[in-house]
Structure 1
Amino acid sequence: RIHLIPGFIGSEQANWMFEQLLQDIPWGQRTHIRQEVCFEEPRLTSWYGELPYTYSRITMQPNPNWHPLLTMLKERIEEFTGYTFNSLLCNLYRDEKDSVDWHSDDEPSLGKNPIIASLSFGATRTFEMRKKPSPEEDGDYTYVERLKIPLDHGTLLMMEGATQEDWQ
């Protein structure tokens, strides 16, 4: 299930929060190695959580030092949704060239059917999802269902249930 909550953070407050996070978060760019080729992730990231987090064969070390604004946003989302969250990966897309590749948040450390909350700040970006092909389709994504969701400044996107199992 996917839930879209536009205006979860009002525009003026979102502007202030975005500026604070841009200035205060220790953004970094990670390097990946695939088939002996090194490349930098086309975005900046910052990890917060009590445990290490591994994706795409990169492990981010525990970072329990949440920025106070991130803690406040986490608590606000928890109060609104009724769920508890224990970690956060901040992504900063600097321009239209920055991106994230097709993926599912299905790492074993997240457990079965993790609940993902995504809060967007800044320019509107299109969040694309595609249904994973059935075994009969043998990994062919040509005819799978696709969604394009515009994420505006201050919008909250919730992904629940089997979303990570069934979609990228």
Structure 2
Amino acid sequence: MEDKRQRARVQGGWAGPANIRTASRAASGVSNPSNQVLSSIAQSEVRREKLIPSERQFVFKAPQEVVRKVPEPIIIEKQGQYEISALPSGVSRLHLIPGFIDSQEADWMFEQLLQEVPWRQRTHTRKDLTYEEPRLTAWYGELPYTYSQLTLQPNPNWHPLLTMLKDRIEEITKHTFNSLLCNLYRNEKDSVDWHSDDEPALGRNPVIASLSFGATRMFEMRKNPLPENADYTYVQRVCVPLDHGTLLIMEGATQEDWQHRVPKEYHSREARINLTFRTMYPDPEAV
């Protein structure tokens, strides 16, 4: 009797023998708490394996897209003829002649042209905005010349020095020219942006002879992108440093397949004169 009372005080009046409580819980369908914990842990592991792939699935795969690199520009400095592209439209060629005019002779020619050519700064209008061209120009020829919606009026009164230079260039190139665009870059801030000399009045595949005096400036060219990929980032580029007295001749499909420019420069540059001889046609369709 005393044992029963003591057991009641320790376990509570409801407590019974351990084996009886287990049997009654099993009979009533209540599971063991420890089994529930184990089952919950197992289910969590299954879910975690589904959410987090195993280490064997972390495999590097190379990107499917081909990485494109910007091509290094081709630098042309030595005398010679260069084929820079061959496309269905034709072959594009450059002919570089450094020292075409002797340095001492080029010095006095530069000074005479700088003082006696009627240089003018043209004003452009684009989308109702006007701006001054960052260079000075002069036009010689019996026909007008229109570029970038700007028309230069005929000027048949050639300076004698320009006539002499035209004759010398015609002798070595075996091409004839009847027009001339003179360009004066006063300093490193003067420039001309990307363009092609492909005006209809120049005919198909025009020959342009470019003679430079004064400070060396970089003449840059870039190939026109194919129609399905009109992005100039990855096209081929050519750079030609044009020194005092250097003659550069552009032939073939150069004006159709390439653009060129003289960019602004960060370092100080003295004045430069560039003479671009060309042939104009009154009726280009008849050429």
TM value normalised by structure 2: 0.58
Aligned to 1:165: 256
Residues 2-17 of structure 1: pairs in structure 2 closer than 5 A: 2-17=94-109
Q: Secondary structure at the match of 1:121?
A: strand
User: Larger Rg: 1 or 2?
Assistant: 2
Residues 75-114 of structure 1: pairs in structure 2 closer than 5 A: 75-114=167-206
Distance in 1 (CA, whole Å) between partners of 2:231 and 2:201 is: 27
Distance in 2 (CA, whole Å) between partners of 1:56 and 1:144 is: 24
Aligned to 2:207: 115
Q: Secondary structure at the match of 1:2?
A: strand
Distance in 2 (CA, whole Å) between partners of 1:154 and 1:136 is: 40
Distance in 2 (CA, whole Å) between partners of 1:40 and 1:145 is: 31
User: What are the superposed Cα offsets for residues 4-62 of structure 1, whole Å, 9 maximum, x if unpaired?
Assistant: 10000000000000000000000000000111110000000000001000000001110
Decide which of 203, 218, 230 is 1:126's aligned counterpart: 218
Decide which of 243, 266, 270 is 1:152's aligned counterpart: 243
Q: Secondary structure at the match of 2:161?
A: helix
Counterpart amino acid of residue 76 in structure 1:
R
TM value normalised by structure 1: 0.99
- Name the Cα RMSD after superposition: 0.5
**How far is 1:80 from its partner?**
0.7
Decide which of 24, 36, 51 is 2:143's aligned counterpart: 51
Distance in 2 (CA, whole Å) between partners of 1:104 and 1:12 is: 32
Q: Secondary structure at the match of 2:228?
A: helix
**How far is 1:136 from its partner?**
1.5
**How far is 1:3 from its partner?**
0.8
Aligned to 2:232: 141
Q: Secondary structure at the match of 1:101?
A: strand
Higher helix share: 2
Counterpart amino acid of residue 155 in structure 1:
T
Number of residue pairs matched by the alignment: 167
Distance in 2 (CA, whole Å) between partners of 1:150 and 1:141 is: 21
Distance in 1 (CA, whole Å) between partners of 2:220 and 2:116 is: 29
Q: Secondary structure at the match of 2:119?
A: coil
Distance in 2 (CA, whole Å) between partners of 1:129 and 1:166 is: 10
Identity of aligned residues (%): 78
User: Where does structure 2 lack aligned partners over 5 or more consecutive residues?
Assistant: 1-92, 260-287
Give the number of the structure with larger relative contact order, counting CA–CA contacts within 8 Å between residues 6 or more apart. 1
Counterpart amino acid of residue 158 in structure 1:
I
**How far is 1:140 from its partner?**
1.2
Is 1:20 aligned to residue 108 of structure 2?
Answer: no
Counterpart amino acid of residue 88 in structure 1:
L
Counterpart amino acid of residue 12 in structure 1:
Q
User: Where does structure 1 lack aligned partners over 5 or more consecutive residues?
Assistant: none
Distance in 1 (CA, whole Å) between partners of 2:238 and 2:251 is: 16
Distance in 2 (CA, whole Å) between partners of 1:142 and 1:114 is: 27
Regions of 4+ moved over 4 Å: none
Aligned to 2:157: 65
Q: Secondary structure at the match of 1:120?
A: strand
